[in-house]
Structure 1
Amino acid sequence: MKRKTILAHPASETRKKGEILTTQLIGNILVLNYWNDRVLRGRYCMNTATGEYEYWDAARNVWRQARLNTMVEHDPWCYRSINLKKRLEFDCPEDEQRAENAIAPKTKWQESDIFSRIYDWESDYSGQVRDNRRMSHRNRIERLMAQIPPIPDDFTEWLFRVAAHGQEYAFYDKTGASYSCTACGNTSPEQKWERAEGGKARHNDRAICPICGEAVTVKRRTDHMTYETQAMLIQNMTLDTSVSRHIDVKLQWSAGGKKTVCSEGIRLIFQRNYKVRPTKIYYAYINKSCWDPDPACFDEHNPCNRRIRETYLYPEGVREALKGTAYDVWMDLFPQLAEAGKKLDYNKLLIAGLREPDMPRVIEYLFKGRFSRMLRETAAAVSTWSGRYSGSLALDGECIEDVFALEDRQKINRFRQIDGGEQILEWLRWCDHTGKRIDDVTLQWLDRQKMSEEQMSFILDRMNPCQIMHYIQRQQKESYKGKSCYVVLTAWKDYLSMCGRLRKHTEDEMIFRPRELKRRHDEAVEECRIRQEELKEIEREQAADRMRDKYPGAEEHLAEIRERYEYRDDQYIIRVPARLMEIMQEGAALHHCVGSSERYFERIMQKETYICFLRRAEAPDKPYYTIEVEPGGTIRQHRSEYDEEPDIEKIRGFLRQWQKEIKKRLNEEDRRLAHISAQKRQQNINELREKNNIRVLKGLEEDFMEAI
């Protein structure tokens, strides 16, 4: 669009009021000048040769790539030509005819009005721009993918050697009574095949091929074998880029021989001279089930949810491909891991190299120390998103003892021999800290069952892991047949918890290690049900003891005011509780927050407010109303069961009488405390207003009864 040329031509003016369009033809550009009450609002321009359009916003003096309706209606999502026809008017017939001639109909079915034509021209141009942009993006990716080198010739041979560990098969042909060996590709009669130990070869037996002499696995009941895994290639592309290719691989054995089918899912392009991102990721936009896909079918989106998993790394060319990239800290170690055939999440390790500078050194410790399983789990413990390590190793450790947090070198050697992982390391650390020993059988059982120290902490102070293992296994045979170890452990923990509530002596072996766990567990459940109210009372009493220790002096303050605050008439009684336990019982009986919220105990301790009980004279021991009252007699709250207020008018009348009576009994200290309490009350109300807590404010306002 020739913007300067257009602005050099002044807009043709109008003398009419309202929303008026005047037109100009500047070269092959049609200009619609939009006037509103003789004020120029904008100039819409369309190239009649290409369909390109934009408008000049007169108010802001900027150009915008937008449609005509956006300039006029400011609604880009709703285009209705009828709205424009109703609102807009051409200044004169010549202006309208000029626009009609410049914007010709695209088809014979097109509507005849000029605004519909403009909309069609805009849509065609926008679609063409989108198609061109999409094609340019596609061509750029295809040019990049064309630079990726081919898969090495020995890739298939390497896969069978590393991933399948050289596994070979002999498939039986019933028709010919013969076996086909995948190692040499030859067929030989059944009579020549014998087991390695001697005798006729049967299904899944190991046998020696009579032709090539290779050890193979005999298959009489199937005609093929398949193994799926993932492989990774790191290759140089150009001087500035290299690529990491993640390929889903299917290895197949059949009577016809061996073959490999691949489905390359993800390509990571490493930039050597990067400014923003060191890596760009491209995903195959076909499903993994489509093996041997078109190598050009990659995009920046991931519609098929392709994922990187643990993989085997092809060793050739890794050093050269990583050199000079952001991941060159791995250029020496990765080829060694690949040559050793280690199946790891190499992609996570690449990311960790950017975020955890000590990770390469720890991985080298684990690899050269032959801690194979710990090596895999350490790589898997890296976050794909942040690159941070979340495992239990100390990456900043200066030696292997520091890394494992094990002081005993013998335990480290033992850890290597049993090829331990995170779970076993946790238990060896427990042995180090406690000075106790766990045998290998118990360690392996703990590892298989995924039993952590935290899960077994409830019983570890009374039984060692070996005893726990034997006890759980016995319960699985006798009481919990078919149940997992976790189910037994959970039932055991639940049983001991109930014993604690029932105040049984849980240090007694007869209690903490019952012969029949399920029966004793069920008995404890039934006893807890029967003694439910008693247990709740015990728990409340224990809580009250804690509150008494936490808020010292609260019960003494209640005792000081009892004589002045207690009152009665023919219908109602006001009582002052003697213990905090009574307040908790009152709250539980009436189902409100007085007994469960610690703020009331804190206020009693500080002499800000007190808690009193209102009872009916006919039922003096049955909870009815709970009163929160200030030292001067002002009532902050009065609530009955479930925060309701039955017979509130009668209650208020009695409370007024009570306020008048206790006012006569107050001393100077009460009046001083009443003044402080009023200030704290106002401060609390101000805080609630700032938080806009309307519900609580309204409740306090309804309950408030100031002492007169």
Structure 2
Amino acid sequence: MKRTALLRDVPPCAAPDGISEDVLAVSQIVEHDGKSILNIDLFYDGVLRGRYFADIKEKCHNANVDGKWYRCSLNNVARVCKGKETLKGYDYYFDEDWKYASNADADRAWEYLGNRIDTFEYKTNQVKYERAYQRKRQRIDSIMNAIPCIPDGVEAWLDEEIFPGDYLFFKRDKRTGYTCTACRAKSWRKKPWKHGEMTTCPKCGAEVKAYSRRNEIMKREPVVILQPHGEGWLERQCLAECRWSSAGKEIKIYEEIRVIIGKSKCYGTEYYGTRRFADETEQDWWDRNGANKHFAPSYLYPDNLQETLPCGGLEHSGLDVIAKEKVKLNINRFILRYNDQPWLEYLIKAGLYRLAADIANSYYVPELICPYGSSPKGTLQLDGNRVNRLKQLNGGLNTLGWLQYEEESEFDGRRIKISQESLEYLDAKKVRLEDCRMILQELGSVNRMVNYLKKQKESPRTVVQTWRDYLRMARQEGLDVTDDIVRLPKDLEARHDQLVERINARRDEERRMKEKEKYAYLDARIRERLTDVKRYFWEDDTYMIVPAGRCEELVEEGRALHHCVGANDFYMTAMADGRSWILFLRRKSELDKPYYTIEINMYTDEIKQYYSAYDRQPDKEVIRKVLDKFRRSLRKTQRIPA
């Protein structure tokens, strides 16, 4: 549509008679440049304020108000004519600000468009968005078509380094049939192998692992491939899959993310695969991450790094060492951070691969790292001996934290030593220093703490949490936490639970004393209703139901069964008001032991709820039948009138 020529060549419509609060639209169909065009002129307060043009063939529309062009809806153009703001995305909530000056104007527009004006605009926008999408699709496809293929050596590298080895699948029977993934031979022999045994294939002689529990094994690993591309370079985040089966060993490479990076830069434009498990030839690409794909700690393909790393100024970054040592690292995050964190090179070249990976995989620079250090010792804030210990373990951030704690203790006079055995345990079990500080404050020895953790049945992290809570409660209760009998209990969980019960009992007692007057008042009102609730007393051969008679009984019941019946005065007040009553269900064989707590509506005799310990319902079906039997017996007695 040649909108400027239309505005110049097409004379405006005559102004309508009269003045309206709405914008009045006058339509005409004009011939321009060999096409029929719908022109709608907009008058407000008797003055021509805007002109709207629609082309049914090109499926487009434009409007001009006070010399400025708009591509919005006719209703928004009318709002501009009235000095209002345009509506975006929610205009259907508002009344229209315009109307046709006459039925003839409306009929003329309908005849040209074959529909309402808003329907035409909606379809026009759909066409516009589709055209824009196709242009963008073609642009991205042309960029992706220029991307080089994955290097030929990647599959061999995956086969040898990431997914090494082959399997011999066998099945025990009268004779043992087997399949080798190395040579794909199928045969049999009399004597079976042991599951998991390393052996050689009788046919090809390849070293294989005997496997009898499945006839197929699949493993996946994330890998990153860096390649030169034009004047810049390329980062490709892939997912490698290896499948061992009777058909042999098959490796596939699914590409998920591509980053096109300019020369000497460490960041670029990201494109995301829209399909799952699609290789470089099958994948569809887009510049939005609709499939929620992410860069992950990955193995780095090493063979072409010598020519690729200089493209981003990374030739001294240590990425070649990371690739050679097969360290899993968030390569994308490392590349983005390297210029601001050149000390990562120190860690890699010092052999601290796992520590470098932990830092690269985290979002921020950890507090344990001094970014201004000029050597590994300065960066790690450790002396040479402890740096060597960290290197021997290939420790990460967790191990670094423990070694820094040991060094700090030398300066404050505590001189806490951590044996290499303890350090290995803390590293292997991922026990964090921050979780153990309270324990160490009382114990004063990491080695003793580790020895105690080794003796426990639960996982170390669970034990640390329980131990920390136990020591905190023991200190609050005035116990001597410097005494080994207290701070190193034989049965930690039992001692922890005893303290919990002790504290809860004391708090209940304090609450009872505090609310003694309230309980006395409620107890007096409850006693007035005891004659009415005698009918709730019930028993059969196995069970007995006893109505509660005092507030204290509810508190004791709640503490014994660990539920909320006595946590506050809600149920006590309901009993005092005669709205509902609390009943205790007991086994006749254990009358002194709480079993179920029941709430019953005193107006309708309906069982409102019934729960046992920890708000659970053991033997629910049995108890439900018992309660049905109890309710049937209530029908024989007179209900309390509402």
TM-score normalised by structure 1 residue count: 0.62
SS of the equivalent of 2:436 reads coil
Q: Which deviates more, 421-430 or 168-177?
A: 168-177
Tell me how far 1:508 sits from its aligned partner: 3.5
Tell whether the 8 Å contact from 1:180 to 1:188 is kept in structure 2 after alignment. Answer: yes
1:457 and 1:187, CA in 2 relative to 1: closer, same or farther beyond 3 A? same
1:503 and 1:535, CA in 2 relative to 1: closer, same or farther beyond 3 A? farther
The CA distance in 1 between the partners of 2:55 and 2:504, in whole Å, is 86
SS of the equivalent of 2:249 reads strand
SS of the equivalent of 2:170 reads strand
Identity of aligned residues (%): 24
User: Which of 302, 305, 313 is the aligned partner of 1:318?
Assistant: 305
Q: Equivalent residue for 2:169?
A: 171
The CA distance in 1 between the partners of 2:436 and 2:106, in whole Å, is 88
Q: Equivalent residue for 2:274?
A: 285
Q: After superposition, what is the alpha-carbon deviation per residue over 1:258-278, rounded to whole angstroms, capped at 9, x for unaligned?
A: 11123211111113398xx94
Question: Is residue 405 of structure 1 aligned with residue 417 of structure 2?
Answer: no
Question: Is residue 379 of structure 1 aligned with residue 360 of structure 2?
Answer: yes
Alignment map for 1:261-340 (pairs within 5 Å): 261-272=252-263, 278-287=267-276, 290-292=277-279, 294-324=281-311, 327-330=312-315, 333-340=318-325
Q: Equivalent residue for 1:13?
A: 14
Q: Equivalent residue for 2:428?
A: 448
Tell me how far 1:529 sits from its aligned partner: 4.8
Tell whether the 8 Å contact from 1:352 to 1:389 is kept in structure 2 after alignment. Answer: no
Q: Which deviates more, 490-499 or 150-159?
A: 490-499
Q: Equivalent residue for 2:595?
A: none
Alignment map for 1:436-475 (pairs within 5 Å): 436-461=416-441, 462-474=443-455
Q: Which deviates more, 332-341 or 414-423?
A: 332-341
The CA distance in 1 between the partners of 2:355 and 2:248, in whole Å, is 36
Q: Larger Rg: 1 or 2?
A: 1
Q: Equivalent residue for 2:101?
A: 89
1:398 and 1:52, CA in 2 relative to 1: closer, same or farther beyond 3 A? same
Unaligned runs of 5+ in 1: 111-115, 194-199, 477-481, 537-585, 591-708
The CA distance in 1 between the partners of 2:12 and 2:185, in whole Å, is 89
Question: Is residue 57 of structure 1 aligned with residue 65 of structure 2?
Answer: yes
Amino acid at match of 2:73: R
The CA distance in 2 between the partners of 1:242 and 1:268, in whole Å, is 9
The CA distance in 2 between the partners of 1:499 and 1:445, in whole Å, is 27
1:319 and 1:15, CA in 2 relative to 1: closer, same or farther beyond 3 A? same
The CA distance in 2 between the partners of 1:497 and 1:151, in whole Å, is 58
Tell whether the 8 Å contact from 1:6 to 1:26 is kept in structure 2 after alignment. Answer: no
1:161 and 1:63, CA in 2 relative to 1: closer, same or farther beyond 3 A? same
Q: Equivalent residue for 1:234?
A: 226
Q: Equivalent residue for 1:366?
A: 347
Tell me how far 1:291 sits from its aligned partner: 4.7
The CA distance in 2 between the partners of 1:170 and 1:206, in whole Å, is 9
Q: Which deviates more, 504-513 or 173-182?
A: 173-182
Amino acid at match of 1:141: I
Tell me how far 1:163 sits from its aligned partner: 0.7
Q: Which deviates more, 253-262 or 488-497?
A: 488-497
Amino acid at match of 1:297: D
Tell me how far 1:136 sits from its aligned partner: 0.7
Q: After superposition, what is the alpha-carbon deviation per residue over 1:415-437, rounded to whole angstroms, capped at 9, x for unaligned?
A: 22222222222222222222332
Tell me how far 1:522 sits from its aligned partner: 4.6
Unaligned runs of 5+ in 2: 80-85, 410-414, 519-642
Q: Equivalent residue for 2:154?
A: 155
User: Which of 25, 30, 35 is the aligned partner of 2:30?
Assistant: 25
Tell whether the 8 Å contact from 1:148 to 1:237 is kept in structure 2 after alignment. Answer: yes
Alignment map for 1:68-147 (pairs within 5 Å): 68-72=74-78, 87-90=99-102, 103=112, 105=114, 116=116, 118-147=117-146
1:26 and 1:75, CA in 2 relative to 1: closer, same or farther beyond 3 A? farther
User: Which of 208, 211, 218 is the aligned partner of 2:210?
Assistant: 218
Tell whether the 8 Å contact from 1:318 to 1:331 is kept in structure 2 after alignment. Answer: no
SS of the equivalent of 1:282 reads strand
Amino acid at match of 1:444: E
The CA distance in 1 between the partners of 2:121 and 2:479, in whole Å, is 84
Tell whether the 8 Å contact from 2:453 to 2:460 is kept in structure 1 after alignment. Answer: yes
Q: Equivalent residue for 1:508?
A: 483
Q: Which deviates more, 15-24 or 42-51?
A: 15-24
Tell me how far 1:250 sits from its aligned partner: 1.1
SS of the equivalent of 2:210 reads strand
The CA distance in 2 between the partners of 1:170 and 1:20, in whole Å, is 82
SS of the equivalent of 2:69 reads strand
Tell whether the 8 Å contact from 1:170 to 1:216 is kept in structure 2 after alignment. Answer: yes
The CA distance in 1 between the partners of 2:467 and 2:273, in whole Å, is 51
The CA distance in 2 between the partners of 1:297 and 1:509, in whole Å, is 65
Amino acid at match of 2:354: R
Q: Equivalent residue for 1:394?
A: 370
Tell me how far 1:156 sits from its aligned partner: 1.4
Tell me how far 1:88 sits from its aligned partner: 2.0
Amino acid at match of 2:327: K
Q: After superposition, what is the alpha-carbon deviation per residue over 1:25-60, rounded to whole angstroms, capped at 9, x for unaligned?
A: 2624432222234211211112354232111113xx
Tell me how far 1:174 sits from its aligned partner: 6.4
Q: Equivalent residue for 1:245?
A: 236
Query: Following TM superposition, where does structure 1 have runs of at least 4 consecutive aligned residues deviating by more than 6 angstroms?
Result: 82-85, 95-98, 173-176, 533-536
Tell whether the 8 Å contact from 1:17 to 1:36 is kept in structure 2 after alignment. Answer: no
Amino acid at match of 1:14: A
SS of the equivalent of 1:483 reads coil
The CA distance in 1 between the partners of 2:380 and 2:480, in whole Å, is 39
Amino acid at match of 2:333: K
Q: After superposition, what is the alpha-carbon deviation per residue over 1:71-96, rounded to whole angstroms, capped at 9, x for unaligned?
A: 2366675579x9799x3224x96x77
The CA distance in 2 between the partners of 1:442 and 1:380, in whole Å, is 26
Tell whether the 8 Å contact from 2:255 to 2:283 is kept in structure 1 after alignment. Answer: no
Q: After superposition, what is the alpha-carbon deviation per residue over 1:336-360, rounded to whole angstroms, capped at 9, x for unaligned?
A: 3323333221111012125x232xx
The CA distance in 1 between the partners of 2:491 and 2:247, in whole Å, is 60
Q: Equivalent residue for 2:341?
A: 357
Tell me how far 1:446 sits from its aligned partner: 2.0
Tell me how far 1:392 sits from its aligned partner: 2.4
Tell me how far 1:213 sits from its aligned partner: 4.1
Amino acid at match of 2:127: Q
1:120 and 1:438, CA in 2 relative to 1: closer, same or farther beyond 3 A? closer
The CA distance in 1 between the partners of 2:158 and 2:57, in whole Å, is 59
Tell me how far 1:67 sits from its aligned partner: 2.6
Q: Equivalent residue for 2:535?
A: none
SS of the equivalent of 1:150 reads coil
Q: CA RMSD in A?
A: 3.7
1:5 and 1:333, CA in 2 relative to 1: closer, same or farther beyond 3 A? same
The CA distance in 2 between the partners of 1:292 and 1:411, in whole Å, is 46
The CA distance in 2 between the partners of 1:317 and 1:519, in whole Å, is 60
1:46 and 1:499, CA in 2 relative to 1: closer, same or farther beyond 3 A? closer
Question: Is residue 202 of structure 1 aligned with residue 208 of structure 2?
Answer: no
1:98 and 1:168, CA in 2 relative to 1: closer, same or farther beyond 3 A? closer
Question: Is residue 343 of structure 1 aligned with residue 328 of structure 2?
Answer: yes
